[in-house]
Structures are given as C-alpha cells and as structure tokens.
A = this chain, B = another copy of it.
Amino acid sequence: MYQWKQGSLMEHGGDLSEAVERFGGPADTWLDLSTGINPYAYPLPEDLPASAWTRLPAKAAEERLATAARLAYRVPDHLGLVTAPGTQVLLSLLPLVLPEGPVAIATPTYSSHKKVWVREGREPVEVSSAYALPADARIVVLVNPNNPDGRLIDVKSLLEIARALSERGGFLVLDEAFADVMPGASLLPHLGNENVLVMRSFGKFFGLAGLRLGFLAGPQEVTARLSGLLESWSLSGPALEIGVAALRDTSWQDRMNRQLVDEMADLTLTLSRHGLSVFGGTPLYALAGLRNARDMHEALARRRIWTRIFDYAPTWIRFGLPGGPANLARLSDALADAQKEL
C-alpha cells in the first residue's frame, strides 16, 4: 500500500501534480474530481484583445469589473468591494486588518481559513456549528454553503450572529465561494451596517480557476485597507475582460445553474448505485460516506480518477462533477471495478 507522506494528506484538491507523481501520468489522461470547480468553463472570448496582455490594466476596466460584480452578487451600494487575484490572498490578509480578540471557525471547512489565523499567532477555536459559537468570539469565520459538506446557515441566523459581533466591535467573515449555485443563500442583499465581510469566488462557478479572480464586500474601512495592501494592478488584463463578460451574462448563469443541478442528480444516483451514500454537497460537489474512503480514493487513483479525501474524516470522499455522460460512465465503471478490490 502507498506510504503517505508525513503530515496532513491533501491540503487542497485540484492539483494533479501530486496525483501524477504518485500514480503516473500524463495529467491529461486523468479525470480530476478533486475540486468543486465547474467542469463547464465560461467560454473564453475568441477576440480577447492583445492589449489585455500587453497593457497595464486600466482603472476604467477595474471599475467596469467592480460594477458588474456588484450587480451579479447583489452588493448593496453602501458596502465597499475589493477585487483580487482570487479570494485566497484576501482571506490570507484578513488577520492583518481585523481586530484582536478570540477567533472562532465553524469546522470542518476549507482549511486555509484556519491556517492563515494560526500563521499570525492567533489560536482559532474550532466549533462544530454556527449555532454553537463561543460567547466571547470577536471574529467568526463561516463558509456558506460549507465546503465540503454543503451545510447552509439561514440568513436570519447569519444576521443575528453578525449583529452580536458588530455590537462588540467584532466581525463575521463569510466565505460564499459556492453561493453562485445557491443564490438564495447569499447574505449580501440583506446586509445593512453589520460588520460582515463576504467573499465571492469567480473561478469556481465560472470554471476558470486559473484566471485568478475573487471579491470581498464589506464595510468601506476594511475594503479600503485591503485595496491599499493589494495596491494597483493586482488583476490581470484577461481577468478584467473575461470577468466582466461572465458576470454580466445572466442567461449563461441561469442555464448553467439548471445544468449543474441536473448533473449533480445524475452523479448522486451513480454514486449511490455503487454503495456510496451522498450526505452533503452543493451542485458542484458531492460528499459521500464510505467505511474506508482512503482505499476507494486510491483504487480510483489507480484508474486515474482523482478524488478528494480528508485527514480529519476517514470515511468522507468528495466528488466534483465529472462533466458529461462519458466521464460519468468512466467514473461508474471505475467504481464498479474498484469495489471488487476493496
């Protein structure tokens, strides 16, 4: 059996170099189901102007993108908005711009949230639910819908948490990386003057994770500070061009949302047919339970299908959407095959 490296096993999904190194390649023969990135990418414009690559991004282009993002994400006018090359750098900088005091994170969730607070010497308390937050928390980090299990916190509860934190000068950090596929879940249209920072990720729903584009909306003083730290031109010209086109394209967004729901239903059915019961997720990923998820992960990897497992939950295995009937059939065959080995 494969000898796992010391330390945590997979910090993130979506990196086939690890898969190729362990189980062989080439990378383009792999079916990567290890992320929640939409396999149907927003179509790249054929006429991307050369100036998007050659020129410094113009302020006017950044403003167009911000306007498109405000509309698409329903960001109230009184809130500030920071654009960044992905939400990763935004969440990473939060410990530098938010106040001192106890930090609580509802876990299990996306691991980088804890990592960046630990890096700054803060000791985040991990709680099992947004409904069981410690009374003294000053910063609360929630992912909604949550990754990897898709659990949702209702808008009313989020507002209550936000108001309680605001009263004591605290902040709610809300990562809505997967809210595009559950638009009703977003807190953004409901925000008043609460101290809430909402992060939105462009690359997941639009299937363009390599473009690097992310947003954070919140009180002006925080977004101004973050914009200051990122300084000018942190976004590439292509990200500015493609971001505007995609965020404005509501008909693609609506059609895609329906398609993802349909395909997730097919994936869920396929998994359950092979004995994997899906108990959580969103239209972009399914979380299934299995007695020995790691063995299944490896059996699938030997068939060049890369899934996501979790060191904190040995019975969990997460599947991204395969992206069409042929890939779904390949997964189905591999699952049938793998079952014989386990």
Determine if A116 and B210 form an interchain contact, defined as CB atoms under 8 angstroms apart.
no
A80 located at the interface, meaning its Cβ lies under 8 Å from any Cβ of chain B in the complex: no
Q: Are the C-beta atoms of B210 and A60 separated by less than 8 Å?
A: no
Interface residues of A in 83-97 (CB under 8 A from B): 85-86, 88-89, 91-93, 96
Q: Which residue, A56, A207, A232, A234, has most C-beta atoms of chain B within 10 A?
A: A56
Within 8 A of B (CB), among A80-123: 85-86, 88-89, 91-93, 96, 112, 116, 119
Known: A53-B44, A56-B35. A236 touches B236 (CB 8 A): yes
In the complex, the answer to whether B89 meets A230 with C-beta atoms within 8 Å is yes
Give the distance in Å from the alpha carbon of A210 to the alpha carbon of B211 in the complex: 12
- B residues in contact with A237, CB < 8 Å: 209-211
Given contacts A16-B58, A89-B230, A231-B89, whether A236 and B212 have CB atoms under 8 Å apart is yes
**A interface size (C-beta, 8 A):** 54
Contact with B along A2-28 (1 / 0, CB 8 A): 000000000010111110000000001
* Chain B positions within 8 Å of A35 at CB level: 56
A228 interface residue (CB < 8 Å to B): yes
A57 on interface, CB distance cutoff 8 Å: yes
Closest beta carbon of chain B to A270's beta carbon, Å? 23
> Are B211 and A53 closer than 8 Å at their CB atoms?
yes
Interface residues of A in 271-285 (CB under 8 A from B): none
Q: Taking the nearest CB of chain B, how far is it from the CB of A156, in angstroms?
A: 32
Q: Which of B17, B54, B212, B233 lies in contact with A234, CB distance below 8 A?
A: B212
Shortest Cβ gap from A262 to chain B (Å): 21
Chain B residue numbers with a CB within 8 Å of A91 are 231
Q: Can you identify 28 A-B contacts, CB atoms within 8 angstroms?
A: A12-B56, A15-B56, A15-B58, A17-B59, A35-B56, A37-B56, A41-B50, A41-B53, A53-B210, A54-B208, A55-B209, A55-B210, A56-B209, A56-B210, A57-B210, A85-B212, A85-B234, A86-B234, A88-B231, A89-B234, A91-B231, A92-B228, A92-B231, A96-B229, A119-B228, A209-B237, A212-B233, A236-B239
User: Nearest 8 pairs between A and B by C-beta?
Assistant: A210-B237, A17-B60, A92-B231, A14-B56, A17-B58, A212-B236, A56-B209, A85-B85
